[in-house]
């Protein structure tokens, strides 16, 4: 049975820890990185624009000795020019892994059902697992262990928040999410994370979430494809900006995370993201290391 990575809960705690350990080991000793992709190719399909995800994933493939073939969504025409399953079957004939950044998470599920090579989620409307792995690695770098630490996610209960909820549950991280009404993380995701043993709390007051937290995290208020909602979203998220006043109620040693791109003056103040508490650049760099480690895991286990 081939194992894919569509969401963090495809992993168990031991496998998640193994990926983080491999990411840390390869980062410290690049010469020891294995080359399981030597002479092999990986297909990466992008229905949405990408900077960090595409670059980190391509460089991860290079680090493992392989070659990434990047295809834009308009070139492939998944679901329009040909079916998602037919695209996956074709690409599986050329490559040993298929990765995709898609609008609809069900496209990834359809790919997984159609082929026996691993499928990697590079972002969907439901999940962003490689981002969550990079977040955990960054917090582990900062605190040594994330178990028992309190992470406050303040903003939209979106795909990033969903993957964080599962990542927190599998790692012992305590997660509290503060979102305005109508933008909360869906109840099935919270229940799913709690069923994994996670401590996940949802509140409406961002200061309640931030108070005493070891880390504050946010994402843009208007993601790709939501541009028409921008004015309404800015109004709904008023008061949720992570600024110096909100950082001040967190633990004195608290750090700040953001998955980027960031809109200074909206979801975060420039003084926070560019200040001493910010770990966003370490967090971005860790995307490479976790992508490489996740590929090693999939190739070993698939």
| DSSP per-residue codes, 142-196 | HHS--TT-EEEEES--SHHHHHHHHHHHHHT-EEEEE--TT-SPPHHHHHHHHHT
Q: Which residues of 99-120 are buried (b: 16+ CB within 10 A; e: fewer)?
A: bbbbbebebbbbbbebbebbbb
Which of 27, 101, 126, 140 is labelled catalytic? 101
Percent of the chain, pLDDT > 70? 99
Any catalytic annotation for residue 219? yes
Any catalytic annotation for residue 255? no
Neighbours of 293 (CB within 10 A): 26
111-165 pLDDT per residue, tens = 999 999 999 999 999 999 999 999 999 999 999 999 999 999 999 999 999 999 9
Answer whether residue 288 shows pLDDT above 90: yes
Any catalytic annotation for residue 187? no
Q: Which residues contact 40 (CB under 8 A, 6 or more apart)?
A: 65, 66, 67, 95, 96
Mean pLDDT of the chain: 96
pLDDT at res. 302 = 55
Which of 135, 219, 283, 297 is labelled catalytic? 219
pLDDT at res. 118 = 97
Across the beta sheet with 97-101, what order do the strands follow? 67-72, 41-46, 97-101, 119-121
Which of 287, 289, 292, 297 is labelled catalytic? 287
Which of 96, 258, 259, 292 is labelled catalytic? 259
pLDDT at res. 74 = 85
pLDDT at res. 75 = 87
189-237 pLDDT per residue, tens = 999 999 999 999 999 999 999 999 999 999 999 987 788 889 999 999 9
Any catalytic annotation for residue 10? no
Percent of the chain, pLDDT > 90? 93
Which of 128, 258, 289, 292 is labelled catalytic? 128
Residues 176 and 27: their CA atoms lie apart, in Å, by 30
Q: Which two tokens stand for residue 187?
A: 């109840």
Closest listed residue to residue 222, CA positions, set 244, 240, 209 = 240
Distances (CA, A) of 103 to 45, 74, 142, 265: 11, 13, 33, 27
Taken in order 165, 47, 287, 2, the sign of the CA dihedral is positive
Answer whether residue 294 shows pLDDT above 80: yes
Answer whether residue 174 shows pLDDT above 90: yes
pLDDT at res. 2 = 60
37-77 pLDDT per residue, tens = 999 999 999 999 899 999 999 999 999 999 999 999 888 88
pLDDT at res. 11 = 96
Q: Which residues contact 225 (CB under 8 A, 6 or more apart)?
A: 48, 103
pLDDT at res. 223 = 84
Query: Is residue 175 within 8 Å of 135, Cβ to Cβ?
Result: no
Answer whether residue 289 shows pLDDT above 80: yes
CB-based burial label for 40 (10 Å; 0-12, 13-18, 19+): middle
Q: How many CA atoms lie within 13 A of 273 on its CB side?
A: 23
pLDDT at res. 70 = 97
Any catalytic annotation for residue 54? no
Any catalytic annotation for residue 101? yes
């Amino acid at each position: 049975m081939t194992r894919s990575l569509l969401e963090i809960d495809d992993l168990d705690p031991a496998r998640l820890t193994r990926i983080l350990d491999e990411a840390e080991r390869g980062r410290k000793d690049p010469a020891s990185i294995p080359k399981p992709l030597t002479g092999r190719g990986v297909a990466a399909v992008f229905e949405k624009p990408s900077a960090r995800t595409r670059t980190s994933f391509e460089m991860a493939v290079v680090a493992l000795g392989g070659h990434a073939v990047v295809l834009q969504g308009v070139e492939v025409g998944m679901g329009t020019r040909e079916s998602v399953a037919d695209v996956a079957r074709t690409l599986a004939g050329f490559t040993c892994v298929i990765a995709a950044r898609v609008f609809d998470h069900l496209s990834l599920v359809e790919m997984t059902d159609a082929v026996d090579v691993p499928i990697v989620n590079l972002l969907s409307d439901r999940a962003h697992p490689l981002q969550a792995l990079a977040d955990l690695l960054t917090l582990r770098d900062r605190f040594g262990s994330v178990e028992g630490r309190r992470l406050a996610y303040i903003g939209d209960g979106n795909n990033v928040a969903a993957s964080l909820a599962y990542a927190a549950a599998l790692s012992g991280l305590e997660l509290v999410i503060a979102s305005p009404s109508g933008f909360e993380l869906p109840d099935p995701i919270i229940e799913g994370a709690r069923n994994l043993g996670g401590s996940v709390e949802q509140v409406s007051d961002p200061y309640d979430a931030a108070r005493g937290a070891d880390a504050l995290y946010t994402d843009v208020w208007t993601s790709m494809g939501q541009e028409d909602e921008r004015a309404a979203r800015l109004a709904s998220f008023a008061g949720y900006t992570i600024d110096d006043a909100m950082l001040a109620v967190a633990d004195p040693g608290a750090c700040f995370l953001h998955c980027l791109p960031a809109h200074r003056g909206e979801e975060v103040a420039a003084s926070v993201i560019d200040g001493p508490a910010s770990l966003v650049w370490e967090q971005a760099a860790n995307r490479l290391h976790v992508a490489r480690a996740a590929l090693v895991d999939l190739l070993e286990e698939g």
